[in-house]
Structure 1
């Protein structure tokens, strides 16, 4: 292997954050100074009081819901051995003295804006909860509950402290350590710093050396926040924003992930998780594939996730949020604070795309994002102005995170061994988060975090299995199309049947209705006010209209608008459009005339179904044929099922939502996605 190839392999093993830091260092100090102001301690008190852009968003979210635990960064550990609690307290107090972020509180300034206040001194209380007097059989359970209480207690950003540490003693040789920080002063990298420095301090104190003499920090977080504002205001914001505008475009679609239960308008869910270990052979095969393709594990695992989201939603425009450490300056490497930034990585995925092509796109997108990682997510949201909703986050609705290693320093605590201690439920930040964790031995596990009120555990377990199948295909057959990878259910059968053209295992929705009409023809299928229809009646009514639509030119990929009041006729019309092979476009008759006209034109309707009382509102573009369903004589049309051939990627419907630009935006949903959504209900 050449030196160049060896360097490429070594670079591929770095995390995205490490690659960005390497790239920054390779540029050299002179190149950096041309674009960036120096990052040095600030002596301007007003400058240091201003929040970073990321902190401003956290302040807003906390004011919105002060009791939320969604942005708690928490770790629980069971420690076996002789723990020196006094040394532990001294170690953490040394950390508080060293890092200003751990002594920071927040308040509203005279101008009404939030500002941060660094306290000159903070005496961190570390309580010891002693369960030694409790019956031994109850101690572990009570210790776990006490640890969860520490994690669930809300932070008060006005009063602080925003670091909480508690020790729970089960016996002289068994303790539980709980460490919780609020995200406004910390991030995942910061937790690693805190753990590493705690171990160094604890070891030095217990060995009689006193507080460890760690190197002085070149800057504190408030210095970085001031530097960030100056740099962005000097023109860097516009440079990076131009890149992200080009990447993400004007419209920002919402990912329609099929859920088992209805979404709440105001959002707010409890987090649950499902973990799956990648088989060792698969992890090794993926590592070989990354070396062959000049990619990283992050890129490959992201591509698999993008393919998974496409297969489960049928959408082709996939947006995934990805956190980046954002510590590409050496001065920030050892500072505790909220540096992490969130990027939106976009993929255009369709069923006929080769997995290798998707991987190459993920590589290109990730590298471009690394070169433009400094624009704060909050600035991007402000610039793109996506549709806002309490029910979902802006710009992306699912997140992917890739982590390497763990808190290995803890394993060197003198006289102690450790294992994790689950801290119970917390609020979900997003509907779905995939965290891929690579351990020092090369093993990989995928943790699916999800909103418990939206998804059943079985649904997420099947999704995890589908993810493994897609990764296996990436490893074994990268030239295979995304839509051709066989996904298995828990019984080992094809779960989505995309290899077969006619949905052998996942029939489209109108086929399900037809099956019920055969099996239970007299069972009630639809009740609307005083009117009710059996499956046989509904199916025949839809069939007759479907045959008329086919004769009028409807068929696969054509779009038929429906402007009708909510009644049995509207349901039959929707079913008829699906039976004709066309996609339906629901149009609310209560909407303004110009909005209806825009959606009809934008979607490219070939036909429009309505009722006599709404004909005038439905009449718009002279090129669109309008049929009033309640005036049609369909008695001469065939009553049998049309049986129009369809496949998974054919369009089922187009739904319009409020657009961020003032214009409605259409989301296209394929038969595959609609079928699996209905089957999951």
Structure 2
């Protein structure tokens, strides 16, 4: 018999598709108000109206019992949990001291708390619950009637403003997953935790509902909800539908189905198609994903689920062929996807991990033929009846990070339905990726749109150096191989929390704060004051595009001047200005930017930028089904599309900083040292934000000198021990 330990039962809360550890929430709660007893709280989920809602039970200290201000305590708890975990609490149960259920060893019994709540057996001294009007509602995929006609039909302006303000409060609360009651209309939105991705989604949602142009940047520049309501209301009352915003750009159209005989490539697809023509054996744009499947897997349900996904999404059935002189999308009829089964049940655990790594690299390093398809591969490794690994590899031309997450969520939904003998619960898609490709070209080529975007980027990037010389360990080869390796470190939660607090105080996002330290790091390693990096944006600003699989992601160029020996705080403001401008002009496809700027093209390095920085805003949580658990496994595909990439992904214990580097250029020791520098810079940024770049450089140089001294001493000691051992051996001969 074999025993598989997969975690404590229900020791994980899954609320609105995101994983939360109850002990983290409990720690936040007990520190939120002085009246609460330490180590005497429980966080659990209950199902209300078909949705998991968070409830916390927390003891109060006995000395506060007779002067208890329930609303004050509840407000403090909700605020702390919203800020720390982006969660709203449905119910708060304040308990008598010493009454919370515990085991004989003193551990909190969350299950007993949940049952006590259900059966009303807890010793309550106060409680607070949100009613329906206070609960934030996440955006749904359903069509929503535009608010503009309602506003225009309301004769009184004060009533219109109140109606719009309430609507905006609900939208912002839904985006942030916090109660509506916590949205203060007079508080700047960028201090509520709104990041660039959420601001883009929110701005374009409001554009579609109000039919008024709204830049996502406006939401990150310190505007309050009251000010936003007034600005949008003026736009509704005085502007025509589709009126241009300050940059001269028009609202992106709502995607509609189109019928085309020749389907063009999207601009991003066209770029990858061109790169493939230059080097068809290049596997740097293969996207590999490994999914650990724990539980009793039924292969027939898995096969049916994947076949249904491929049927639903035309992008996964697309190949690319040249017709005349133009590449076109060729959409094939639905087909059954082959899942190659690989038996690894005879391997010991260590051998099994090595085999997983080998097969992952093998799959990721196998090129696709874009003109043939299919451009996805699946392999199922079977270690036991209850332990499988699904390897999924797609070419980037039909996929992006969002697509991979959507694929796994749909797979989980379909598998659970088919396992229960039900039909697919997923609605038919109103549009397909080919519709986006058409509308993207149609919109960008409409009057003034492309010219406006290009004017900004030409001004921002004019005279930019073609290459960021990082000080490599070896000479740059004439043709880059894209061979890569990875090194990662975990930035602790305490540091990440401090970075978030600094960002809120300065009115910037976490990404901007992390990017500031990257700019300082690159300055130290290049001694260049003109520092250019790239970043990815989801580019899902088009209505309904969040439902689709396919390549939407776009690359932005972030150029910042470090002239004048700025302090960290000053550099943070420069980075903020750079990022906001880029977000406001993100619709220009990267290949069109390269085409317009005409940088020196060489196969030795990437055009415009060679360092990529990405913060994963919405990492895919583990998915819990009735009898299965699906969880992503971090894998190394053995490639690096850039000289250096820094990928930052939230984890339970902090923020994972993954450095992916080109092994033709860098030794692993160089990257390890660079990663250590980055963590040190983040700590200095928090502790001493008014430190100048020159002082920062002196600090890093001192760290390097101390490390070199320790290495020299260790080498000296090793040699002395070796010689002493030789001497003893000779003395005994």
TM over 0.5: yes
* SS of equivalent residue, structure 2 residue 694: helix
- The alignment's C-alpha RMSD in Å is 2.4
Q: Structure 1 residue 365 and structure 2 residue 578: aligned?
A: yes
Q: Structure 1 residue 30 and structure 2 residue 211: aligned?
A: yes
Aligned equivalent of 1:78: 292
Distance 2:669 2:675 in 1: 10
* SS of equivalent residue, structure 2 residue 486: strand
* 2:254 and 2:543 in contact (8 A); partners too: no
Distance 2:328 2:404 in 1: 23
Aligned equivalent of 2:193: 12
Aligned equivalent of 1:286: 499
1:477 to 685, 688, 693: 688
Deviations 1:69-121 (A, max 9, x none): 211111112323211111111111110011110010111112x2211111122
Distance 1:70 1:362 in 2: 29
Q: How many Å apart are 1:254 and its aligned residue?
A: 1.3
Distance 1:83 1:429 in 2: 35
Distance 2:705 2:458 in 1: 35
* SS of equivalent residue, structure 1 residue 395: coil
* 1:17 and 1:327 in contact (8 A); partners too: no
1:226 to 438, 442, 447: 438
* SS of equivalent residue, structure 1 residue 390: coil
Unpaired runs of at least 5, structure 2: 1-181, 214-240, 243-249, 710-733
Does the C-alpha gap of structure 1 residues 6 and 496 become closer, same or farther in structure 2, counting only changes over 3 Å?
farther
Distance 1:331 1:169 in 2: 37
Deviations 1:327-367 (A, max 9, x none): 11231011101100001011001462111111111111111
Distance 1:219 1:353 in 2: 49
Distance 1:37 1:262 in 2: 45
Distance 1:230 1:160 in 2: 27
Give the length in aligned residue pairs: 491
Aligned equivalent of 1:39: 254
Structure-to-structure mapping, 1:259-408, within 5 angstroms: 259-350=472-563, 352-408=565-621
2:627 to 410, 415, 418: 415
* 2:466 and 2:607 in contact (8 A); partners too: no
TM-score by length of 2: 0.64
Structure-to-structure mapping, 1:367-516, within 5 angstroms: 367-408=580-621, 410-417=622-629, 420-421=632-633, 423-439=635-651, 441=652, 443-485=654-696, 493-495=702-704
Deviations 1:164-204 (A, max 9, x none): 11111122122111111111011111111111111111111
Does the C-alpha gap of structure 1 residues 186 and 461 become closer, same or farther in structure 2, counting only changes over 3 Å?
same
* SS of equivalent residue, structure 1 residue 495: helix
Deviations 1:365-397 (A, max 9, x none): 111111111000000000011111111111111
Q: How many Å apart are 1:140 and its aligned residue?
A: 4.5
Does the C-alpha gap of structure 1 residues 11 and 120 become closer, same or farther in structure 2, counting only changes over 3 Å?
farther
Q: How many Å apart are 1:425 and its aligned residue?
A: 3.9
Q: How many Å apart are 1:139 and its aligned residue?
A: 4.4
Q: How many Å apart are 1:6 and its aligned residue?
A: 5.3
* 1:400 and 1:434 in contact (8 A); partners too: yes
Distance 2:212 2:455 in 1: 21
Does the C-alpha gap of structure 1 residues 140 and 359 become closer, same or farther in structure 2, counting only changes over 3 Å?
closer
Distance 1:177 1:426 in 2: 18
Does the C-alpha gap of structure 1 residues 135 and 327 become closer, same or farther in structure 2, counting only changes over 3 Å?
closer
Unpaired runs of at least 5, structure 1: 498-503, 506-681
Deviations 1:418-470 (A, max 9, x none): 5554544432100000111123x572121111111211111111111111111
Does the C-alpha gap of structure 1 residues 373 and 424 become closer, same or farther in structure 2, counting only changes over 3 Å?
closer
Does the C-alpha gap of structure 1 residues 338 and 425 become closer, same or farther in structure 2, counting only changes over 3 Å?
closer
Does the C-alpha gap of structure 1 residues 149 and 271 become closer, same or farther in structure 2, counting only changes over 3 Å?
same
With a CA cutoff of 8 Å and minimum separation of 6, indicate the structure with the bigger relative contact order.
1
Q: Structure 1 residue 101 and structure 2 residue 305: aligned?
A: no
Aligned equivalent of 1:53: 267
1:245 to 458, 476, 480: 458
* 1:254 and 1:396 in contact (8 A); partners too: yes
* SS of equivalent residue, structure 1 residue 3: coil
Does the C-alpha gap of structure 1 residues 487 and 106 become closer, same or farther in structure 2, counting only changes over 3 Å?
farther
Deviations 1:193-228 (A, max 9, x none): 111111111111112223x22133222111111101
Distance 1:117 1:353 in 2: 52
Deviations 1:520-567 (A, max 9, x none): xxxxxxxxxxxxxxxxxxxxxxxxxxxxxxxxxxxxxxxxxxxxxxxx
Aligned equivalent of 2:420: 207
Does the C-alpha gap of structure 1 residues 52 and 2 become closer, same or farther in structure 2, counting only changes over 3 Å?
closer
Distance 1:6 1:83 in 2: 49
Q: Structure 1 residue 176 and structure 2 residue 389: aligned?
A: yes
Greater radius of gyration (CA): 1
Does the C-alpha gap of structure 1 residues 451 and 5 become closer, same or farther in structure 2, counting only changes over 3 Å?
farther
Distance 1:194 1:20 in 2: 22
Distance 1:258 1:382 in 2: 28
Does the C-alpha gap of structure 1 residues 131 and 447 become closer, same or farther in structure 2, counting only changes over 3 Å?
closer
Deviations 1:586-631 (A, max 9, x none): xxxxxxxxxxxxxxxxxxxxxxxxxxxxxxxxxxxxxxxxxxxxxx
Structure-to-structure mapping, 1:497-646, within 5 angstroms: none
Does the C-alpha gap of structure 1 residues 134 and 30 become closer, same or farther in structure 2, counting only changes over 3 Å?
closer
Report the more deviating stretch, 31-40 or 18-27: 31-40
* 2:288 and 2:360 in contact (8 A); partners too: no
Q: How many Å apart are 1:278 and its aligned residue?
A: 1.0
Distance 2:493 2:348 in 1: 42
* 1:168 and 1:177 in contact (8 A); partners too: yes
Q: Structure 1 residue 196 and structure 2 residue 409: aligned?
A: yes
